[in-house]
Amino acid sequence: MKKMKKQFLVISMMLILILSACSNGSSSTDSSNNSNDGGGSTDETNPAAERGNEIVVGVSGDPQNWDPIDTFLLDWGTVAISVYEGLVERTLDLELVPGLAESWEYTDDKTIVFKLREGVEFHNGEPFNAEAVKFTFDRLLGEEGQKGPQYSNYTSIENVEVVDEFTVQMNLNSPDPVLITKLAGYGAVIVPPNYVQENTDDHFNNNPVGTGPFKMVSYQRDQETVLEKNENYWKEGLPKLDKVTFKIIPEASTRLAELQTGNIDIMKRVEVAQAETVKEASYLELKEVGTPTVFSLRFDTAKEPLGDVRVRQAINYAIDKDAIISEILGGYGKSISTFQSELSFGNNPDLEPYPYDPEKAKALLKEAGVAEGTSLDVFIPGNDGNFKEIVQVVAFYLEEVGLKLNINSVDNTTLISDLIPKGDAGHMYRQGWGGWTLDYDNTAYLMYHEGEQWNPSFKNDKVEELLEAQRATVDQEERKAIFMELTELLHELAPEVNLYQAVDLYGVNKRLQGFQPPHDDRMRLEEVSVE
The pLDDT value given to residue 484: 98
Indicate the residue type of 445: Y
d(CA 386, CA 139): 39
Is residue 36's pLDDT more than 50?
no
CA separation for the pair 93, 84 (Å, rounded): 19
CB atoms within 10 A of CB 207: 15
| Residue 197 DSSP label | H
- Do 210 and 190 contact (CB within 8 A), yes or no? yes
Per DSSP, which regions of 183-229 are E strands? 214-220, 224-229
Spell out where 400-455 has E strands: 403-410, 428-433
Assign 288 to helix, strand or coil: strand
* Dihedral angle of Cα 415, 416, 419, 422, to the nearest 10 degrees: 180
d(CA 40, CA 44) in angstroms, rounded, equals 9
Half-sphere CA count of 246, side-chain side, radius 13 A: 31
Percent of the chain whose predicted confidence (pLDDT) is above 90: 80
> Which amino acid does the sequence have at 117?
R
Q: What is the pLDDT of residues 286-325, one digit of tens each?
A: 999 989 989 999 999 999 999 999 999 999 999 999 999 9
Instruction: Indicate the range of 20-29, 148-157, 303-312, 397-406 predicted with least confidence.
Output: 20-29
pLDDT tens readout for residues 463-500: 999 999 998 888 889 999 999 999 999 999 999 999 99
Residue 188's H or E segment, with its range, is none
pLDDT at 8 over 90: no
Question: 171 forms bridges with which residues in the sheet?
Answer: 111, 159
DSSP for residue 344: S
Dist. CA 442–CA 483, nearest whole Å: 12
- Phi and psi at residue 233, to the nearest 5°: -65, 140
Q: Which amino acid is at 180?
A: I
Mean pLDDT of the chain: 91
Q: How many CA atoms lie within 13 A of 469 on its CB side?
A: 16
Q: Smallest Cα–Cα separation from 436: which of 200, 59, 64, 90?
A: 90
Per-residue pLDDT reduced to its tens digit, 190-228: 999 999 999 999 999 999 999 999 999 999 999 999 999
For the stretch 434-473, what's the b/e string if a residue is b when 16 or more beta carbons lie within 10 angstroms of its beta carbon? bbbbbbbbbbbbbbbbeeeebbbebebeebeebbeebbee
For residue 98, the model assigns a pLDDT of 98
List, for residues 431-470, the tens digit of each pLDDT value.
999 777 889 998 999 999 999 989 999 999 999 999 999 9
**Count of all residues that appear for the chain in the document:** 531
Directed axis angle between helix 23-32 and helix 385-400, to 10°?
A: 110
pLDDT exceeds 50 at position 24:
no
Instruction: Give the pLDDT mean for 495-516.
Output: 97
pLDDT at residue number 43: 55
pLDDT of residue 371 exceeding 80, the answer is yes
Domains and CATH numbers, the chain: 1-80+212-283+510-531 (3.40.190.10), 84-202 (3.90.76.10), 290-503 (3.10.105.10)
pLDDT for 19 beyond 60: no
pLDDT computed for residue 250 by the predictor: 94
Q: What global pTM score does this model have?
A: 0.74
- CB count within 10 Å of CB 328 equals 22
Band of residue 31 on the pLDDT scale cut at 50, 70, 90: very low
C-alpha pair distances (Å), 5 with each of 318, 436, 497: 13, 35, 20
- pLDDT attached to residue 11: 52
Residue 38, amino acid: G
Q: Give me the pLDDT at residue 442, please.
A: 84
Checking if the pLDDT of 373 tops 90, the result is: yes
d(CA 530, CA 262): 14
